[in-house]
Each structure stands twice: as C-alpha cells, then as structure tokens.
Structure 1
C-alpha cells in the first residue's frame, strides 16, 4: 500500500484515478488548485506552476509515489501550455522524493503534431520525466470518454446539436481510438503496483478505431437525432478556425483543430500486455455520457 499524491485530482480523469486507488486500498492525497477533498481522499492546495509552493506541499505530504495529471487544453492568461505542461511538470519532478515512482499523464501524439503547442509541450514534459532520475511511467491516452468528459459530453455534443446541419471537418476520415476513463484509471493504478512495467511509455487506446465521421454518427444516434452531415473543406476551416479565436469561448481552438486533423490512434498491445484493462466500448457508454 502506498501514499499517493495525485495532482489534478479534482478533474475528470483525476476523480476516476483517485477512486480506483482508494478502491485498491492505497492512501491518496488529492492535490488541486482549490485543495478540495476528492471521493473521500483528503485534499491539499497545489499550483504546480509555483515551484516553491510545490516543494513545500510535497515536503509536507512526503508521498511514496506521485501521479501527475495536471494539464490544460486551452491557454488562458498566464496559464499557458509551456507554463503548465513544462514548468509545472519540472516543478513536481524536482519536489518528488528520490526513488518515488512518478506516473505521468501525457497524450497520444505528444511532440509530433505540427501546429499544436499542446502537443509540443506535452512532448517536452515527457522528456523531463524520462530524464528525471525517478522511476517513471508515461501514459499517452487517446480521447478519454466517460460521464463528465469534455469531448464527447460537451464539444462533440454541441457540434451535432447547435445547427440544423452537422459540420464535418474535411472528408471525415481522420482516425480515432477513444479509451474509457475506467481503462485509464486501471492503467495508472496498476503501474504503481507493477514496478516491472516502469521505464516505458504506453499508448492508452480503446478496443475499436473510428473515423471522425463515425464519431459524429455515434453522437447523433446517442442523442436520438437525425441531421444531415455536411463536409466543410479544410481550406475553409483553415480560415475559419483562427477567426473563431476572437470569441470568449471558441467552439474549437487552433490546437484542437490541429489535433483533429492529425487523428488520434495507436495500437494498444503493449498496455494490454502489461496491465489488466477492461477495454470498455465507446458505443456502450455514449448514451449515458450525452444524457449527463
């Protein structure tokens, strides 16, 4: 049994990982900017972009292991990708007790998607983890689905619900392999319990691959809607997406657009061999996700 500090514990993925750690008997300290308790785990306030505060918090908690989940999908003010993903990861690494396992949340395509500062900074953070001198494991999940998720529960839901027709980016053939939050929580927890799986990066993807068009069809079906799907040529999207950034809350950011065009898929053989994963299917969970 370990005392595990989970950063970003109050987020969608954080709550699931905290719950799984507790279910398996681990002690958990839930770290987040507000410091609220999560699922019965005591909370501590933590701003990973503040190096001194991060050092003090981890010195007080003295965790046996750290699960680092903090990340953003959109920059706001001084919360930039570089500051949160790179500087924040560096600060947590520097404050983690030597010898403590460090389980890091990255993203599929980290460092390899042109035009995406999100991808670039995720790749830089991975490099810091791998050269930290700590026992480490890096997970690279695809789109994560579950009740309360941001993509299927909000972004895609709004896309298919707002207008009389559903806009499809390009020809809709970009591939995706979404993974359930339950699979992600199982992988992170088991990585702490199976030290022989460390020192590696694992793609976390689900059991099935879908095109973007198929995801639109699934979302419409889950909502009980029938609408025409109209392709929007990429040259038009290339012009429209930058113009959308003047809105207080753009329907799609530049980084999200770059990542959509790149697709989000990878084989999951290595993760399935190392960990016992439920491999839940998107189409089985989607009706509940969109209704919430």
Structure 2
C-alpha cells in the first residue's frame, strides 16, 4: 500500500475534503501550506501532518516531497495576480512537480485540472490548464499519472453557490453574465472520492477523467435553484457576451474579484462532460439539490428562523 501522500493545495476547499478521505483511508498525509493557520482545521486529523513551506521555492519543495509515495497537486487559481499568474500556477508549477517526482522516484502523481481545458480554449485560464496537463503527461512513461478535470465544484465551503447566495440577499436585481452558459456541478465529496479511490487503482494510470454531476444546468438555472433554496427571489437581468465582457472588465478591477473578463471567456464553452463518470472511480455523482439545501438554508435569515422555530418546537414537545 502506498502510505505517504503529500498534498499541495491541501488547505483549500477541495483539498480539505481530499485530505479527510485520505486520513480515513489510513494514509499518512503531509499538507504543505504557506500559512499553517489556514490549515488548522486539518491539524486534529490523526494521520495528517501540516507543514509550513514555500512550495514555489524549488529546494524547499524538493525537500518536502522527499520520501513520498504519492503526490497530489490541487494548486489552481481563478484570478491572476501580479505574483501568481496562470502560466506560473497552472503550467510551470505542475511541470516542476512532475520533474521532482521523477527525480525523487515518487511513483504516483495525481493532478487537478479543469473541465474543457484546451490549448485552443477561449480563455487564458483554460489554455494554461491544458498546458499544465500536457507538461504532466510528458512524464507518464516514468510516473503513474492521473489527471482530473472537474466542472464547477459545490460544497459547504465553496466560493460559487455560497457567493451567489450572499449576493442574492443584498442586491435588488442580479445582473448575470453569460446566463445560458452550461455547467455540470459536482459535489466536492464526489471529487474527493474519485481522487482518493484512484490512488492505488492501476486502471486509472495514464488517464484523464472528466468529473461532473448528474445534471447539466445553465448558470441562470443554478441561480434560480439557489433562490428557491434560500427563499429569496430577485429579478435576473441576463447579459449578452458584449455586456458580460464589460462587466468582467469592471469587476476584475475591484479589490475583491468576483468575476474577470477571462472568466467570461471561459464560459463561452459549455462546461459539461463528454463522457459519464468512469466505473473505476467508484463514484455515483450526487444531486446538487440534495446537498445545497443542507448548507445554504443555515446561512440566511429565513433559514435561521425556520431552524430556530423547529428547535423550539422540539424542546416544547420534549417537555410535554
């Protein structure tokens, strides 16, 4: 059994679920993070070691990967910054990781990409993801490489469903970029299960997997589902491509980046799978509606009131 797993990007949304499953499966897990405080929720897991390290310093990264049986790379960004651009994070970094796995004789590498990654993609994000995939696969004759390309991922700590839920509650009208863009939302726990199940599954070696949920939905349908879940209705003003690009150009200049011009370009391609979930991953995708009500309702005033009322009713009934 491959016991020692090092996870890059493990303190994030997807990483937290992956690490919890690795821990449950009995792997010895090392999480590399810039700030140990960001991964404090993982420290209490019995088989997890959280190490503060600068993964962009080649010598430090090599030292931390030494002795690993498996490396899982979850590093990715949706918005570029002056220090961390798509080329650096999605292409050059995965290449360096694969090179180090080869040098250190680490046999197994799992790499997180993105659905519709393509060298001819309409956005820099998708093109950089494709470049990273190609760079990693160059080592597939020396390493057991598996690449995962998920659609948009949802879950308790996501920055997608939660973001729209908060936005809906504060704006009178929702100006929505690319309302007819298609997605196949997948639950974070299903993504984590697919990755962990593949660690020692030889049938996954050298393959690239698309990960999507059971339903294909437009962005507007997703937003309407969120509205129905939190019991808050807002008019939706759908923007055409030109207006969507203008909105992206404006919003990418804000201190908190919710949308960029490059994000809009990514949505020009339907974010849906071309094939069903592979049998060797042993995952049956979970319906989005069965999950989001569990975490969205608790995070809005109406839901909090309903929960309080239900709890009060249980107390009263218990006293009778």
TM-score (normalizing by structure 1): 0.91
Q: What is the Cα deviation at residue 99 of structure 1?
A: 4.8
Aligned residues of 2:177 and 2:243 also touching (Cα < 8 A): no
TM-score after normalising by structure 2: 0.84
Once the two structures are superposed, the pairs formed by residues 111-260 of structure 1 within 5 Å of their partners are 111=118, 114-132=121-139, 133-154=142-163, 156-170=164-178, 172-260=179-267
Aligned mates of 1:264, 1:114 — CA distance in 2: 12
**Aligned pairs (5 A) from 1:33-182:** 33-35=34-36, 36=39, 38=42, 40=45, 41-59=48-66, 62-96=67-101, 97-111=104-118, 114-132=121-139, 133-154=142-163, 156-170=164-178, 172-182=179-189
CA contact (8 A) 1:183 1:277 kept: yes
Distance in 2, matches of 1:71 and 1:207, equals: 24
Q: Moved runs in structure 1, 4+ residues, more than 6 A?
A: none
Q: Which runs of 5+ in 1 are unaligned?
A: none
Match of 1:18 in 2: 19
1:140 Cα deviation from its structure 2 partner: 0.2
- 2:34 is the alignment partner of 1:29: no
Compute the displacement of 1:253 (Å).
1.3
CA distance in 2 between partners of 1:235 and 1:229 (Å): 17
In structure 2, distance between residues paired with 1:114 and 1:238: 16
Bigger CA radius of gyration:
2
Shift of 1:137: 0.3
1:183 is displaced (CA, Å) by 0.7
Q: Alignment length, in residue pairs?
A: 287
RMSD after superposition? 1.9
Instruction: Provide the rounded CA distance (Å) in 1 between the counterparts of 2:22 and 2:204.
Output: 17
